[in-house]
Structure 1
Amino acid sequence: MPREKEGKQKTKGTPLPIVPILQKFLKTYQKHCAQTQTSVCPAIKQDLKTSINNEQILRKFMLVRPDDSPPSILPISLEPLLMTIRDECYLLGKEICIWGLQLSNPEIARLASLLELKGRTTCPFTTLELIDCRMDLWSLQRLGRALPCSYLHSLVLDYCRFGNEEIESIFSGLENNQRLQVLSLRYCGLGPQNGPRLGSIICQSSICELHLDGNYLQCSGALALLRPIAEYAEMQGKDQPDTRNSPQQLQAKQRASSTSNRITKPSGAETGKTASGKERRKKGIKKIKDSAGPWLVKLYLADNGIDGKGKEGENGLLEFTQILTCLIKYSAHLREIDLGNNVLGEMAATDILEALRARKTGSSQRTHLSKMRINHKDEESRIQKSGEPIQKSREESPRGT
C-alpha cells in the first residue's frame, strides 16, 4: 500500500518539459503560415530553435519584416502567430514585438481580443511593441478599446505616424490606466495640440516612463504636458510629503494581500458574498483609484522643437523653463530628464542649475536626479558645475520605412 501511494504522488517543483512544448509550437506555427499563405518569420523560427537547443522558455516574440525579402516571397503576417498562441495555450510569453509591418484589421482585431482575455486564462503579455507599423483608423480604435482591459505594463508605438483622430483613439484607451507604466511615442508626429491630453493622461494613470523623442510639441505642447504634473509636485512638496505607494509598491502589496487572503480568509470572504466582503472589495477599488498619477520617473523630450522660435517666442520658452524647474525642485519621483536637441539657451541653463541645487537641499524623500541631458555647450558647462551627471545630445533620425 505505501508503495502504491508513493507512485500516485505528484512530484512538486518539476520543471516544465519546455522542449516538446516549443517543438509543437513551431510545428503549429508553420502549419498556420501554410494555411494562411504567409511566410514563416525568420526571427520567430530562429528564436524558437535557439530556445529549443538551450532548453529555455521563449518569453519574447519578435515579428520582423526582413529588409532583403524579394516581392515574390509571401508576406509575413501576425495572424498565424496569434493563432498558434491560442491553439497551443502558450502562456509563457511576456513580450510581443512587431517591426515594420502593414497590419490589417483582422490582425489587429485578433491581437485586441488576445489582450482583452480575462478570467481563468488571462493574456500573458505585459509588453507590446508596434514599431514602424502601419495601421488604419479602425485598427487604432480597436486597439484603443482593448487597452483598458489589458494587462500591459509597457506600450511602445515608435515611428507610427498618427493624425489627431488616430492618436486620440490610443489616448482614450490610456485614461485612468492603473497598469501601464511605460509609454513610448517616439517620432509619431505629435504636435502642440497633443500636450494637454498627454498631461491629463499622465496625471490620471500609473505611467512612470514617458518617451516622446522626435515629435514637435514645441514650448506650448511641452508646457501643457508638464504644467499639471509640476503643479501637483509643488503642492505635495510644499504642503506635505507624498506618502502614497508607487505603482510598483502597490502591485507588490496587492500580491502579498491576495496571498494572505487566500490563506486566512474563509470561503465566503473570498467570493465576496458576505456584506463585509463587498465592503472590503469596494475599499480596495477606491484605494487603487486614489493611487493614480502623476508618477513620472523618466521624461524624454529630446528633439521636440522646444526653443524660443515658435509663435510664443521667448515668453513661451521662459514659461516652459519655469514649469520645468518647478518639476525638478518638487517632484518626489523624478530621476531622468532628456531635453537633447532642444535649444533652451543660457538663461534656462541658469534656472535649471538653481533648481538642481534646490532639489539637493530639499526634502530627503525626493529621489536623486541621475540624468539631465541637454545639448548646448554653455548649458552643459553650467549644469556640470552642479555635480549632476549630464549626457551630451546626439542626432537621432527616424527608422527608415
Structure 2
Amino acid sequence: MTKQPQVGAGLKKISETAVVRSMKELLRDYEIRAERYETTVSNSIRKQFKKALDDDRLMTRFLVDPQDRRPVEYWDDEKLVKALQGEPDEGAHKRKKAKQKHVKEDKPLVKVLPLIDAIRARRYTHIQEFYVWDCHMENDDSMALAGIITRGCYPITRVELIDCFLDNKSINILVNAVAVSKTLKELCLDFNDIGEKGCRILCAGLSKARFLTHLGLCYCGLTKQCGLWIGNLIVETAIRELLLDGNPLEAEGVIALLSQLSEAAENEGFERVEEIKRKQQALEDMKRAARINLDREPADLNVNADEVKTTSPATSPTGKPDDNITEKDIMKTKGKKRGRRGKRGGKLEPPPAGPQISVLKLADTGINHMGRGGNFAPVRCMQLLKR
C-alpha cells in the first residue's frame, strides 16, 4: 500500500514558519530603530515576542512597560532622625562602596516611537490593543501613536496610556485622532496630570468621537469645574463607561456632572414620548383617509373608484400594465431590491449617542459636606443618581 502524503501537516508548517518569520522581522526592525533613535528596547516587548514565538501565534496586544524607574526607599523614624542629626550610617557607607565598585552606565530611556515605526514599516495589521505604562511620552511619540490610530488598516480597539506625563499638546493630538477612528472603543489616561486646561482640550476633541464607549480618567487632577465639561461630553457622545476615581471633583463637580446627565435623560424621554404620539397620530390620519365616506353621493364614489382603477394598475417589468402579475411577484421584486441595497451599504454604524451611561465610578472624589452645599451636597448627589 502506498502512503499518501500528509498535505495538512505541510500546510500547517508553512503557515507556522510564515508567522514566526513575520514576528522575527518585526522584532529585528524594532531593535534596529531603537538603536537608531538612541533608546532602549523595552523588556516587556521582548518577553511578549518570545512568548508569541514559542506559542507560534501573532501578537495582538503590545505592552510597553520599561520598569526602569528607581524604587522608592521609605525611611522609618529612627533613620530619619539620624539623617537629620548628621550621624553616619554604616550600612549606607557600605552600600556606597559596593556601588562604586560596580558602576554601570545609565541606559537611555525607552520610547514608543521606534516600536510604532517598526509596526508601520512592516505593515503589521494584527495589532488590537496598545498599552503604555510608566513611560515618558513626548510629542513625537504621541504623533506616531495618533498616526497609527487614524489609519483604518490597524484595528486598534483599546489604548492605555497610564502615567505617561502627557502634556496639553500631546492630549490634543491624541483626542483628535480618537475622534476620527472608527475602531477605537476604549481609551484610558489614568495617572496623567491633565488638570482643568487639559480636561477642556480633551472634552472638546472627544465631542466628535462617535465610536468611543469607554473613558478612564482616574487620578488625573480633575477639579470641580471639569464636572460640567465631562457631563456635556457624555451627553453628546456614545460613552457608556466613565471612570473618575481619585479626582478632587468634590460634591459640586459631581452634582454638575450628574445634573447634565439627568436633564438630558429627561429631555430624551420626553422626546421619545412625543415621537410615539406623533407616529400614532400619523397612522390614525392614514386610516381615516383610507376609509370610504358613506355620506357622499353615489356619483362621487363611482368617480373615485374609477380613478383608483386607472391610476394603480399592476405593471410588468417593462413598465406596461399586466393583469397576470400577482401580489407575490410584487413582494419578490421588492425583496430583491432590498437585498441588493443591504449588500451595497456595509458601513460600520456607530452606537447611539446620548446619556445612556452604564458604569460610573467616583471613588475618592471628595464627596462630603465640606464644600459648597454643606450637608445637603451628598444627599443631592444621591438624588441625581436615583433619577
TM over 0.5: yes
Larger Rg belongs to:
2
Partner deviation per Cα, 1:38-89 (whole Å, 9 max, x = no partner): 1110000110110010012211111112146777112101011001110110
1:152 Cα deviation from its structure 2 partner: 1.3
Partner deviation per Cα, 1:86-141 (whole Å, 9 max, x = no partner): 011011111111111221111111111221224xxx23211111100112222222
The one-letter code of the counterpart of 1:315 is F
Higher relative contact order (CA 8 A, sep 6+): 2
The question of 1:298 aligning with 2:359 is answered: yes
The one-letter code of the counterpart of 1:57 is L
**2:88 corresponding residue in structure 1:** none
CA contact 1:177–1:204 (8 Å) conserved in 2: no
- Where in structure 1 are there 5+ consecutive unaligned residues? 1-10, 244-259, 271-279, 327-401
1:177 Cα deviation from its structure 2 partner: 2.0
SS at match of 2:53: helix
**2:49 corresponding residue in structure 1:** 48
Residue from 87, 92, 111 that aligns with 1:77:
111
**1:112 corresponding residue in structure 2:** 146
For 1:215 and 1:192, how far apart are their aligned partners in 2?
9
CA contact 2:250–2:368 (8 Å) conserved in 1: yes
The one-letter code of the counterpart of 1:167 is C
Residue from 110, 121, 126 that aligns with 2:157:
126
For 2:341 and 2:371, how far apart are their aligned partners in 1?
64
Identity %: 28
**1:320 corresponding residue in structure 2:** 381
Kindly tell me: are residues 223 and 71 of structure 1, through their superposed partners in 2, closer, same or farther at Cα, counting changes over 3 Å? farther
Alignment of structure 1 residues 128-207 onto 2, 5 Å: 128-150=159-181, 151-207=183-239
The question of 1:226 aligning with 2:258 is answered: yes
Q: Which moved more, 1:197-206 or 1:311-320?
A: 311-320
CA contact 2:211–2:350 (8 Å) conserved in 1: no
Alignment of structure 1 residues 24-39 onto 2, 5 Å: 24-39=25-40
CA contact 1:95–1:125 (8 Å) conserved in 2: yes
Alignment of structure 1 residues 274-313 onto 2, 5 Å: 291-313=352-374
CA contact 1:176–1:201 (8 Å) conserved in 2: no
Kindly tell me: are residues 266 and 321 of structure 1, through their superposed partners in 2, closer, same or farther at Cα, counting changes over 3 Å? closer
For 1:201 and 1:20, how far apart are their aligned partners in 2?
45
Aligned length: 283
For 2:266 and 2:378, how far apart are their aligned partners in 1?
20
SS at match of 1:32: helix
Kindly tell me: are residues 215 and 42 of structure 1, through their superposed partners in 2, closer, same or farther at Cα, counting changes over 3 Å? same
For 2:196 and 2:55, how far apart are their aligned partners in 1?
46
1:233 Cα deviation from its structure 2 partner: 3.8
1:317 Cα deviation from its structure 2 partner: 2.4
Partner deviation per Cα, 1:333-355 (whole Å, 9 max, x = no partner): xxxxxxxxxxxxxxxxxxxxxxx
1:318 Cα deviation from its structure 2 partner: 2.7
The one-letter code of the counterpart of 1:107 is D
Residue from 265, 282, 285 that aligns with 2:340:
265
> Pairwise CA RMSD of aligned residues?
3.4
CA contact 1:39–1:76 (8 Å) conserved in 2: yes
For 1:132 and 1:126, how far apart are their aligned partners in 2?
20
SS at match of 1:222: helix
For 2:255 and 2:245, how far apart are their aligned partners in 1?
15
The question of 1:92 aligning with 2:93 is answered: no
CA contact 1:176–1:292 (8 Å) conserved in 2: no
Kindly tell me: are residues 299 and 40 of structure 1, through their superposed partners in 2, closer, same or farther at Cα, counting changes over 3 Å? same
For 2:22 and 2:51, how far apart are their aligned partners in 1?
14
For 1:316 and 1:218, how far apart are their aligned partners in 2?
9
- Where in structure 2 are there 5+ consecutive unaligned residues? 1-10, 71-103, 276-334
1:311 Cα deviation from its structure 2 partner: 2.4
